[in-house]
Structure 1
């Protein structure tokens, strides 16, 4: 009896195994809905690169629209599919299945099933080999953000690959304009369709504002960059705070494809000693949230390890149309770096920054895209739009430096170099005309530079770096050279002494080096986020440089011709021999102007007003910044 019973048990176990295998052969088991594992006994998924891919007909889809999803092997290397399970998963919550499949190309080979909601999963109906297949998937109407299509694909019972994933697909609002090919009909063709190239078009003028802007007038505190961007819904970066009882909900958003956007709670409008929250876009398309502590003007500038991470809870996140968005809650009371942050009873300056890079895995990079602070501390329960801190000192700094180095310095250097033998015998304040005006212009340069330097020190609260931009370094060198110039001039040796040539060369080198560095520093300022200058400002500066150099060349040739230094088309004397302390040898009487003086005066009459116009144009750009949006509107871009 015992052998018969034993064989009965074995037969019964075999029947169960057969039924179990048949169930898998007709589709993935319900237990595979979340982890997508086929439960093939103890068989583990392959660790090699899967021979299958998932291709979508677009990288964007509107809410409620249909997208074609193709699963197969790369073109040119067909590998049959035995079994599979395919779903759309949220990027931010990989366990959440979204959307639904509409139909299958071959009901005998595949069928729809339901895991979390109706028809949200597609799987095989038979274990026979199948070629590449295309399915129609409908995006959900109640979700915005990134999704990816994920599958487990089996080639045979004992060989399958897990986590076969598609590229990121963004579910966008219905009013988003997407130019792409229409959905392809379902097919059982052998090769998946190629990816579709998207062409972005401007959104309609009547587009609905992003969710972060909704409520800024009546139930939120909102702060955005640049000024007055919130009513238009086109901020480069924005933070919003919604208070309901003792629950403080924050929203962050930045445009221009940022790597991160961050907000900070500060006791002043300067960065440093602030509690910050970072919304970071990872390389895999997912978004993470971190807290950090900032340090003033010293490495590491920001550090996550000095801030508890459990004081914030991420609620929502998305990356849509190049905009990084996070919604999170922050504890009403928290202690960071020994400081207590009580959101209900204290006022804080809100800071908003954004950048396009990370320094390393744990530190955000420089705020290249946005940086601003509110002008005064605010209760976070305040409703309305917060005003930014004043930029008056910053604008005055830029205006003073432009007036100094594009205007007064350029004119002063020109007079000293080419007009020593013009207006001979005429004086102003007991000094030759050229020297009197040279001194007036260079003193103005010195005063404007020193004042501009003091203003920027007050604005930033001391020395401040500007990321990878050397503007601060070239600026400080320019200020030092400018500062020592009048001191050296005061102690200059008398003409004819042995030390006079040394002074002439040092004075000339320092002056010209300061002028060149000053203009280079202004060029670098165009690329500073704080300056908010339009990129095309560099063309105005480039035109100034070209005009300045051309005028110097023309005047240099005029001096050479005037002094008889050109014969047979060649310069036969060193044009700057006066730097050696020698007396200028001329053929005219001492109290008469050198030849071509009238021509030089004409050139000066052309040079001076044009240089002034260049300086005024740049000062206007600084004073009215940011004007890029106005320019784009006028140009129709």
Structure 2
């Protein structure tokens, strides 16, 4: 029994040691941090980037025994929350010497004064919750003369902290010294670049430095961003970078526009599904965590963390600054996920990068509504340079065909059928009335373009199932179905004069107009699709088209109204819709009044409508317009 008891004691002692080692110091800096200001976060190293924090003082000189205010905060852009911190005053001549003492803290519930090498010589956090900028009152020692610098380590999260955040020099002088006149406190730490200066006389010629993730994309690491050509200018909505040193594979991912998550994926093709994903997630409390997950091809649950081992990645750095979510981490060279072996050294993979603004739940990321793209071909991750995205030819052709169909040919075909039945009377084309021949040609073009566009998008995405909140795919599918049924119904239409003909007329009219309205609405929805990459102002082009189309309908309806009034001796008793009920009386044969005017209106309507269609097609073909314009301006 004695050996067993000794074994139990040994196990208990080991567990207690592990518990002590894993303590995260959420109630303040550990005692060891008094010397080097390192938080002892399980071996995690401080960030190498410019810190988003600075320390400012209320004066550059202070007399012995007097006090001044010391503020720690974020001077650049939106305030960055403070998680944990430790602040001390260090002598310039002897940086290991802590001088002075702190008198007050802004919030005793979240901050505290502690003793490191002297009484009340250090301030730190007492809770890990996010804090706003903090101001402390510090008293200079009565037995010290010389320069003092306030030094701090500030943590944004457990794995994200900056060391050696410094203040401007503060000089401690004798009580009889005449102090310098007060000046505006400097807000720039010594190890940070000066804040941007707004020049009114001439524009700034030096572009701002690129984020760290872009540095080395040309010569030391593999980079892939979305939208295309965004890496040289440093304005990617999402970017992934891979740096290989020996058998160490380091990944960086960053998303803009304040994403909830940004992720990278390793895939054997350029389609979503059966991929190993790595997610950088910003939780509701502002903390940043790294997860791995497995994606499923167009079926629930789409993405699942429990199907992927979490230990294959190790988070190195993370931050969220100015709406940019960033994670840097290592991944094991060889890992097995869902029975598939991912060997980063031997195999090639398509890189995927995506970002989204929401989570489905605590275990699943939401739809990638901010950014999504995949490389066009599998790459060795040790490759250096910028990777190319997969071709968007099918996607652009789909958009061009649908725009030409529903903004162009369908709009013209409907106008001709509704307002030009009493025009070109006696003239035929292919043995049919001129208006009917034009209508049929235009609607056949609409049908062909719509079917071709539908086939192209199915080839592009591989399915007609959709995800996300945008109804573009649903309204588009209904439009295709209605369009496909129209010529089939027209082929079996009853002969004029039969009792069933009015039913066909009303049904054909209703389905055609419903398809046209849905088609236009679908194009509106496409403007906000992330994959389309259309500029936001495309919505105004579409709105202008709708206004012009409606105004022309009103004008043509008025001309028909007046024309019908003249035919019926001043009594307006019918609109063109009366033809729905059967053939018109023989007395009404011949060109109606104002036919010439209507032809002139058609001569104005047709080219303007086509110009709208061409303008939208150009936006689709040249997308993303914003990046193209930025590159032209930069040149």
2:534 partner SS: coil
Aligned length: 517
Instruction: Give the 3-state SS of the residue equivalent to 1:549 in structure 2.
Output: helix
Residue 38 of structure 2 corresponds to which residue in structure 1?
Answer: none
Listed as ranges, the gaps of 5+ residues in structure 1 are 1-30, 40-59, 69-85, 125-131, 149-168, 181-201
**Counterpart among 598, 622, 625 of residue 624 in structure 1:** 622
Distance 1:561 1:254 in 2: 60
Whether 1:418 aligns to 2:408 is no
CA deviation after TM superposition for structure 1 residue 306, in Å? 0.5
Partner of 2:398: 397
Structure-1 residue corresponding to 2:592: 594
Q: Distance in 2 between matches of 1:423 and 1:546?
A: 28
Q: Which residue of 1 aligns with 2:604?
A: 606
Query: Which ranges in structure 2 are unaligned for 5 or more consecutive residues?
Result: 1-22, 32-49, 59-70, 75-79, 92-97, 106-112, 126-133, 139-148, 163-186
Shift in alpha-carbon separation, 1:448–1:285, aligned structure 2, 3 A: same
1:585 Cα deviation after fit: 6.3
Q: Is 1:507 matched up with 2:497?
A: no
How many angstroms does 1:122 deviate by? 2.7
- Pairing 1:109-148 to 2, within 5 Å after superposition: 109=103, 121-122=122-123, 134-135=136-137
1:66 aligns with 2:84: no
Matches within 5 A, 1:370-385: 370-385=371-386
- Between the aligned partners of 2:228 and 2:191, the Cα distance in structure 1 is 26
Residues 1:407 and 1:32: Cα distance change in structure 2 (over 3 Å): closer
* Structure 2 SS opposite 1:468: coil
Question: Residue 584 and residue 397 in structure 1: after superposition, are their counterparts in 2 closer, same or farther (change >3 A)?
Answer: farther
CA–CA distance in structure 2, aligned partners of residues 373 and 245 of structure 1: 26
Q: Secondary structure at the match of 2:253?
A: strand
Rounded Cα–Cα distance in structure 2 between residues aligned with 1:38 and 1:438: 81
Q: TM-score, normalised by structure 1?
A: 0.73
* 1:253-278 deviation digits (Å, cap 9, x = unpaired): 11111110000000100000100000
- Paired position in structure 2 for 1:474: 475
1:25 matched residue in structure 2: none
Counterpart check, 1:346 vs 2:347:
yes
SS of equivalent residue, structure 2 residue 565: coil
Shift of 1:634: 9.1
User: CA 1:388/1:142 → structure 2, altered by over 3 Å: closer, same or farther?
Assistant: farther
Structure 1 residues 328 and 597: alpha-carbon distance in aligned structure 2, compared to 1, 3 A threshold: same
| 8 A Cα contact 1:470 1:524, kept in partner | yes
1:130-177 CA-partner distances (Å, limit 9, x unpaired): xx97347957699998779xxxxxxxxxxxxxxxxxxxx999983474
Deviation at 1:573, TM superposition (A): 3.1
The aligned counterpart of 2:446 is 445
Distance in 1 of aligned mates of 2:360 and 2:24: 40
Distance 1:497 1:210, change over 3 A: same
Q: Quote the Cα distance in structure 2 between the aligned partners of 1:324 and 1:627.
A: 25
1:105 and 1:559 map into 2 onto residues whose CA distance is: 92
Assess if the C-alpha contact under 8 Å between 2:104 and 2:137 holds in 1. Answer: no
**Superposition deviation, residue 35 in structure 1:** 3.9
| Change over 3 Å in CA distance of 1:429–1:110 after alignment to 2 | closer
SS at match of 1:309: coil
CA 318–595 in structure 1, closer or farther in 2 if over 3 Å, else same: same
- Structure 2 CA distance for partners of 1:135 and 1:209, relative to 1, 3 Å: farther
Q: C-alpha separation between the residues in 2 aligned to 1:365 and 1:477?
A: 25
Report the alpha carbon displacement of residue 93 of structure 1 after superposing the two structures with TM. 11
Residues 1:285 and 2:286 aligned together: yes
Once the 2 structures are TM-superposed, how far is the Cα of residue 482 of structure 1 from its aligned partner? 0.3
Q: Describe how 1:174-213 pairs up with structure 2 within 5 A.
A: 174-175=192-193, 177=195, 205-213=206-214
Give the alignment's Cα RMSD to 1 decimal. Answer: 4.1
Q: Name the CA shift for 1:88/1:607 in 2 (closer, same or farther; >3 Å).
A: closer
Tell me how far 1:425 sits from its aligned partner: 1.2
Task: State whether residues 66 and 139 of structure 1, in contact with CA within 8 Å, keep that contact through their aligned partners in structure 2.
Answer: no
Task: Give 1:316-395 correspondences, 5 Å limit.
Answer: 316-395=317-396
Cα distance, 1:426 vs. partner?
Answer: 1.1
With the length of structure 2 as denominator, give the TM-score of the two structures. 0.73
Q: Hey, what's the Cα distance between the residues in 2 that align with 1:133 and 1:93?
A: 12
Structure-2 separation of matches of 1:573 and 1:333: 78
| TM-superposed deviation, 1:219 | 1.2
Contact 1:260 1:324 in 2 (8 A): yes
Partner of 2:34: none
8 Å CA contact 2:103–2:136 kept in 1: the answer is: no
The alpha-carbon deviation at position 497 of structure 1 amounts to 0.7
Q: Deviations over 1:258-314 (max 9, x none)?
A: 110000000100000100000001122221000000011111110001101110000
- The 1:109/1:384 distance shift into structure 2, 3 A limit, reads closer
Cα distance, 1:422–1:142 mapped onto 2, change above 3 Å: same
Moved more, 204-213 or 453-462: 204-213
Conservation of the 8 A alpha-carbon contact between 1:88 and 1:98 = no
Is contact 1:347-1:378 (8 Å) kept? yes
In structure 2, the CA distance between the partners of 1:275 and 1:483, relative to structure 1 (3 Å rule), is same
Deviation at 1:424, TM superposition (A): 1.1
CA contact (8 A) 2:279 2:292 kept: yes
* Counterpart Cα distance in 2 of 1:116 and 1:461: 67
Partner of 1:246: 247
Equivalent position SS for 1:243: strand
Separation of aligned partners in 2, 1:289 and 1:92: 19
CA distance in 2, matches of 1:140, 1:389: 46
Q: What is the aligned partner in structure 2 of residue 559 from structure 1?
A: 560
- Whether the 8 Å CA contact 2:254–2:326 is kept in 1: the answer is yes
CA contact (8 A) 1:287 1:317 kept: yes
Aligned-partner SS, 1:576: helix
CA shift in 2, pair 1:455/1:179, >3 Å: same
1:179-211 Cα offsets, whole Å, 9 max, x none, are 99xxxxxxxxxxxxxxxxxxxxx9984322111
Are 1:528 and 2:546 counterparts? no
Instruction: Classify the secondary structure of the residue corresponding to 1:310.
Output: coil
CA, structure 1 residues 602+550, in 2 after alignment: closer, same or farther (shift >3 Å)?
same
2:144 is aligned to none
Question: How far apart are the structure 2 equivalents of 1:116 and 1:533?
Answer: 61
Where does residue 196 of structure 1 map in the other structure? none
Does the aligned pair in 2 maintain the 1:578–1:584 contact within 8 Å? no
